[in-house]
Amino acid sequence: VTLTGERNKPQNPPDSQGSATGDDIEIVVNVGGVRQVLYGDLLSQYPETRLAELINCLAGGYDTIFSLCDDYDPGKREFYFDRDPDAFKCVIEVYYFGEVHMKKGICPICFKNEMDFWKVDLKFLDDCCKSHLSEKREELEEIARRVQLILDDLGVDAAEGRWRRCQKCVWKFLEKPESSCPARVVAVLSFLLILVSSVVMCMGTIPELQVLDAEGNRVEHPTLENVETACIGWFTLEYLLRLFSSPNKLHFALSFMNIVDVLAILPFYVSLTLTHLGARMMELTNVQQAVQALRIMRIARIFKLARHSSGLQTLTYALKRSFKELGLLLMYLAVGIFVFSALGYTMEQSHPETLFKSIPQSFWWAIITMTTVGYGDIYPKTTLGKLNAAISFLCGVIAIALPIHPIINNFVRYYNKQRVLETAAKHELELMELNSSSGGEGKTGGSRSDLDNLPPEPAGKEAPSCSSRLKLSHSDTFIPLLTEEKHHRTRLQSCK
C-alpha cells in the first residue's frame, strides 16, 4: 500500500470517521502483485478494517507497519500483501456498496479467511454466499469426522481395559469391512446370506417345492426351512454382537437400518413362539393366520442390502432430499385424477354399457391411465370419453416427467459428494502421515475451531482484471512480488 499524497476534494463526505488529513490520503494497495489505489474517505467508513488502519500506520513505525502487511518498500512507500487478488477485489466492495459478494470459482472457506484477514465482518457477506459458505463448512466437518473415525480405528489407547479393546475390535470387525481382509469376508458372507434368505422365501411359495403336513395343508419344504433357520441364526448373532460392541447402544437401537434388522429377524421368533405356545391359548386356525401374516414381514430383510450397498444408501438419501419434488408429483397426479375421473364419469353416462359406475370407481381408471399402465379392465366407449382419456395420459406423462430431473440431480450430487469426501479424507490422512514422517505434528482437524483457522491462501492464483464496478479506484498491470518466498505453499494448504 502506498501513501502517495493528497487529492483535492471540495468537502469531506458526511459519513467520514477519520481526520481531514486521513480522508484526503490516497492508499495504493499491492495485493498479490496487483496495485490498486484507494482513498481514505472511503476506508474510514469502516475504521476497524485492516485497510482503514493503514491510513495512520506510518506514525507508529516499522513495528506497526509490519503488523499490518507482509512487506514494505520505503522508497515507494508501498505496502505489499501476499493475498489472493481476486478475493480482494470482492472484499473492497464493502467500502463502495456496503456488502460483499463472492465471485464464482473462489473457495468459500478461503474467502472467509480472506475476509478475516482484512478484518471485514461476515455480516456484510451476501445471503447467497453465506449459504454456500455453510455448505462448504459442513463438507469440511464431514471430512474431519471421517478422518477422526479412521484415526480412532487405527489408534490404540493403552489406558483402556481389555474388555474395551475387545469391544472396539469386534465393532470394527463388523462395521468396517475395509479395516481388514477377514472383516471384508464377513461382510461378503452376510451379503450372500441376505440374498440366500430372500431366494428361499420366494422358493418356499412354489407349489412344486411344498410338502403336505399332517392336516393335508401345503407347507414349506423342510430343507428350505432349515436354510432359513441358519440364515436367521446368523442375522441374530450378527445383530447381538453389533449391539453389545456399539459405543452408543441407544443410538444403535434407534438407527433406521438397525430397526430394519430387527424387523427382519423378529417375525421368525414370533412365528416360532405362536406355533409352539399359541395353540394352547387360541384356535389353530387363528394361529396359522397370524403366522402367515408374520411370514410376510420377512420381506423386510431385503432392505438389509442397503447396509452393504452405497448405491442404495445414495438412493435413500436422494429420495429423502426430494420430498418437495415428490410432493409436487403427488399433488399433480391427485389433481389430474380427480378432474379426469369426474369428466370420464360424466361423459360415459350416455352409453348404455358404461363401465364408469361412480366417480370413486373412476379414480382407478384415472390412476392407471395417467401413469400409462392401462390394464384395460375399465375403458371409455364414447368419443368424448376417449378424447378425455387421451388428454389424461398426456397430462400424466408431463406431470411425472417434471419432478424427475431434480430427483436425479439430488442423486448424482450426493453420490459425487460422497466420492469426493472419501477421497479428501484419504488425502488428509496421507498428508498427515507425510507431515509426521518429516518431523511435523499432524493435525486431525476434527474440531470446529480448526475449520475456522484453515490456511487462507488458495491453491492457485490468476492475474485478475480490473473490476468495472470500482469506479473510484484504479489498478495497473500485474507485477511480480518483491520476494518469491511468499509464493510457497505447503501441500496441506494446497489441499485445503
Per-residue pLDDT tens for 13-67? Answer: 333 333 444 556 777 788 988 888 888 888 888 888 888 888 878 777 778 888 8
Residues 20 and 191: their CA atoms lie apart, in Å, by: 77
pLDDT value of position 473: 39
Span 184-230, pLDDT tens digits = 898 889 889 888 988 888 888 888 888 887 777 787 888 888 998 89
Strands 78-81 and 25-31 turn out to be parallel
Q: Which residues contact 83 (CB under 8 A, 6 or more apart)?
A: 31, 32, 114, 117, 456, 457
Q: Is the pLDDT of residue 463 over 80?
A: no
158 versus 231: the higher-pLDDT residue is 231
| 283: phi then psi, degrees, rounded to nearest 5 | -70, 155
**Residue 354 cell numbers, joined:** 358404461
Span 367-389, pLDDT tens digits = 999 988 888 888 999 999 999 99
pLDDT value of position 15: 38
Helix (H) / strand (E) element for 218: namely: strand 218-219
3-state SS record for 295-314: HHHHHHHHHHHHHCCHHHHH
pLDDT value of position 129: 84
136-140: long-range contacts, CB 8 A cutoff, minimum separation 24? 136/107, 136/108, 136/109, 137/108, 137/109, 137/451, 139/417, 139/420, 139/421, 140/109, 140/445, 140/451, 140/454
187 versus 157: the higher-pLDDT residue is 187
What's the mean per-residue pLDDT of the chain?
75
Residues 2 and 6: their CA atoms lie apart, in Å, by: 12
Q: Is the pLDDT of residue 1 over 60?
A: no
Q: At what angle do helices 323-348 and 383-401 cross, to 10 degrees?
A: 180
**pLDDT band with cut points at 50, 70 and 90 for residue 130:** confident
Span 79-95, pLDDT tens digits = 789 998 888 988 888 88
Q: Specify whether the CB–CB gap between 460 and 487 falls below 8 A.
A: no
pLDDT value of position 394: 93
Residues 471 and 449: their CA atoms lie apart, in Å, by: 38
Burial profile 413-429: b = 16 or more Cβ within 10 angstroms, e = fewer: ebbeeeeebeebbeebb
Residues 148 and 142: their CA atoms lie apart, in Å, by: 10
* All domains of the chain in start order, with CATH: 26-126 (3.30.710.10), 186-308 (1.20.120), 313-426 (1.10.287.70)
The pTM of the full predicted model, rounded to 2 decimals, is 0.54
Task: Say whether 25 sits in a helix, a strand or coil.
Answer: strand
Residues 213 and 195: their CA atoms lie apart, in Å, by: 27
Residues 212 and 24: their CA atoms lie apart, in Å, by: 103
